[in-house]
Structure 1
């Protein structure tokens, strides 16, 4: 896990549907996984989890909010809050993408809709100022934000939006907690105290 220091950061966007506006937010120090939980890591805790050959290092997907939350708790961790996830992705300067403000020239993944073709942490460009990987060009990730009916996801959706334009650090999506998709995974966090 990577430590994210306490303090302020720029949150949200000026003109983005569903966002409550650009503002300064503050979070306590916390730790977050360097990359999404992989199939192999998930299978170490959830013995019934199976995956195709060669996909051990790929992000685990088809996991509901409660399953992701349970996995994190078994690791003595938790899902990150929406603000924690966003600070880990964009740093303190309000960058649009984890690497800065310029749109990536290459697609985040090859055009193989429905099948992740890269291992977690393998995109050398998709790295936040803190060293957190795959926050824009991989799978959506569950966070602990939301309510009883809809939970917030963050991150890049390689399966539908094969372009970084739709993977900005402030983008939020809300899904029913029982959603289970090929493009939906998670990472864990832990308070620093």
Structure 2
């Protein structure tokens, strides 16, 4: 899990504009043991999320955490346009414009949960440390990213050749995916090597700006000086999206983040379930 110093050196040779400090969140690389679990082969689709909406998911308190229910009462998603992308979008494309709270509630509705960051990474890169789900060479024909020139989401089973070792689709590109973990840029330095669950709390003001908003240029931003960030209490995002550059931006080890109430047309999720 994570990247080696040699990995980072090679990436810096590929793109001289990348700030080396951006890779600090991925070190040190370490071996991690994860107990048995199931993870969805695909991101949650519009059709699946539509059933959650139509079955009263936003009105059933049982599916929501306290913070998530507070979010519903405050935002009132059904009264605005936030659910339109699911209701009006193509059935087999990943649902987007979904906050972490909504992803958490949908997973509960399905009898599942969000994957941990470690579970997500294992499903994406297997056990051999590959850079991309299919191997170590970038190939724009195996994913939906900025190099593909599509500029929107695609059906979740479109890229058959881009599947991971475990048969998971779209673990590179199409949409960013929420994970269960709070984001801490230094977490790998102290994380346990067995079933890591993420830090107990999020890092305060990790970087400046929203990474997914700047697409292929996320690494051009310097880490923020203390007190200069607008973000706090962020959750980990993984996988990259349709508007991100693939060679560096959409590697299996890349880590990004955003606040749990944030929604964007590049962000979706998939679910997982424990087997013990």
TM norm structure 1? 0.87
Match of 1:91 in 2: 126
**Greater shift in the superposed pair: 78-87 or 163-172:** 163-172
| CA contact 2:142–2:161 (8 Å) conserved in 1 | no
Quote how far apart the aligned CAs of 1:56 are: 1.0
Quote how far apart the aligned CAs of 1:29 are: 0.6
Residues 108/130 of structure 1: CA separation in 2 closer, same or farther (3 Å cut): closer
Quote how far apart the aligned CAs of 1:20 are: 3.1
Match of 1:124 in 2: 160
Query: Which of 231, 234, 258 matches 1:150?
Result: 234
| CA contact 1:120–1:134 (8 Å) conserved in 2 | yes
Query: Which of 26, 29, 32 matches 1:22?
Result: 29
Higher helix fraction: Structure 1 or Structure 2? 2
| CA contact 2:46–2:89 (8 Å) conserved in 1 | no
Q: CA RMSD in A?
A: 1.7
Deviation by residue 1:106-129 (Cα, 9 ceiling, x = unmatched): 37334243x32x201211122010
| CA contact 1:152–1:173 (8 Å) conserved in 2 | yes
1:111 aligned onto 2:149: yes
Match of 1:188 in 2: 271
Unmatched segments (≥5 aa) in structure 2 = 9-22, 55-77, 183-200, 203-232
Residues 141/105 of structure 1: CA separation in 2 closer, same or farther (3 Å cut): closer
Counterparts of 1:21 and 1:44 in 2: how far apart (Å)? 42
Counterparts of 1:158 and 1:13 in 2: how far apart (Å)? 23
Unmatched segments (≥5 aa) in structure 1 = 1-10
Higher strand fraction: Structure 1 or Structure 2? 1
Larger Rg: 2
Aligned with 2:265: secondary structure?
Answer: coil
Deviation by residue 1:126-169 (Cα, 9 ceiling, x = unmatched): 2010101110021100000114511001002212x143431111
| CA contact 1:31–1:190 (8 Å) conserved in 2 | yes
Counterparts of 2:119 and 2:132 in 1: how far apart (Å)? 15
Instruction: Give the number of aligned pairs.
Output: 180
TM norm structure 2? 0.62
